[in-house]
Amino acid sequence: MKGRRNRGVALVVVLWAVGLISSALLGLSLMFQAQLDQEVAALQNARATLVAESGIQMVLQRDLNREEVADASRKLSERLRSGWRVPVEFEVSLESLQQEESHLNLNFWLSDPAREKQIQAILQNLFAGWGVNLDTSIRTIDCLLDWVDPDDFTRAQGAEAEEYREQGLGRPRNGRLESLDELENVLGWKELAEEARNGPQGVNWRSKFTLYGSGKLSLKSADRDLIEAVLGMPSGAAQRFDEIRLGPDGRLGTRDDIVNPGLLQGVPTAVLEERTVSGETDLWRVSSTGKVGEVKRTLVALLTRNPPQVMARWLQDQE
């Protein structure tokens, strides 16, 4: 009888041990599966990014006309697909940024902490010329800088995640601006826009800014207030330059326009060269989306095609 009880206890212990080992093996199996899924996802993301990069490199070919981009994308996608076991393709869009140089590129100035004091001075100068109240200007600029910087330290009159959360306004971008519409989410911006619109110049801020381009302002096509702000000139100081720039026909953007940087008195040559451009620009924005299976990644690049050179490149957030 005692032996039967011992065997029964032993059986229970064995069954318990088997159950414990099975649970452990199941846990290990699930852990390994999760790790494998992560590695597969990382591999697919890397492959999709590599495919997107193929589109950027394709556009860098100087003998490829803009009209041929779509057809070339299709043919190159077919060649890539033939060597892979999963569906592979990429799509490329190409647009000239020549006209973007007539606007102030906020992403260029805001993306580098070393330019912070410069963009503060530029924007204060610009907003003052629009008739914006100084307090509104300083508040909005601090909030804008907090909106794009990656940290959670609030500037003197700025706002970080906590301030936006308290007002039910989401949270700052903490990165590059993705659209001009996004500026309306920055605390203080709507007040600034209203003051600019109702000021003596009646300014529509959307006509002044861009998020693309080299960061240099075109002396050939930019508005006078932008030229004065970027070069640190008092309001009205570039009036003579602006009048001469129109040329004999008195119209901007025609063949007889005259760009004479020498009329921008008091501006150091180094500042002119660093912040402005006088002639035409060969600058393009390329958006290349690589697809591998169900995974999609989009690379955006700013580049010149003569000579072929990538000026900036970033991975666009996927929705």
Q: What is the pLDDT of residues 300-309, one digit of tens each?
A: 888 887 778 8
If one compares 126 and 23, the residue with the highest pLDDT of the two is 126
pLDDT grade for 284, boundaries at 50, 70 and 90 = confident
pLDDT at 184 over 90: yes
Contact, 54 vs 290, CB < 8 A?
yes
Residues 261, 218: Cα–Cα separation, whole Å: 11
Q: Considering the chain, what is the average pLDDT of its residues?
A: 84
H/E segment holding residue 76: helix 69-81
Q: Report CA-CA distances (Å) from 117 to 113, 125, 234, 250.
A: 9, 12, 18, 36
Task: Provide the pLDDT for residue 33.
Answer: 53
pLDDT at 190 over 60: yes
Q: Which of 16, 34, 13 is nearest to 24 (CA)?
A: 16
Distance of CA 233 to the CA centre of its chain: 28
Task: Provide the pLDDT for residue 237.
Answer: 94
Which long-range contacts (C-beta less than 8 Å, at least 24 apart) are formed by 33-39?
none
* 203: Cβ contacts below 8 Å, ≥ 6 apart: 130, 196, 197, 225
Contact, 210 vs 300, CB < 8 A?
no
Task: Provide the pLDDT for residue 270.
Answer: 94
Q: Which of 213, 247, 252 is nearest to 230 (CA)?
A: 213
pLDDT at 97 over 70: yes
Phi, psi of 297 (to 5 degrees): -135, 140
pLDDT at 130 over 90: yes
Q: Which of 19-33, 96-110, 124-138, 195-209 has the lowest mean pLDDT?
A: 19-33
Task: Provide the pLDDT for residue 21.
Answer: 62
Percent of residues, the chain, with pLDDT higher than 70: 85
pLDDT at 289 over 60: yes
Q: Per the structure block, which two tokens stand in for 259?
A: 């760009």
pLDDT at 18 over 80: no
Residues 173, 188: Cα–Cα separation, whole Å: 15
pLDDT at 37 over 70: no
Mean pLDDT throughout 230-239?
94
Percent of residues, the chain, with pLDDT higher than 90: 44
pLDDT at 61 over 60: yes
pLDDT grade for 84, boundaries at 50, 70 and 90 = low
Phi, psi of 93 (to 5 degrees): -120, 140
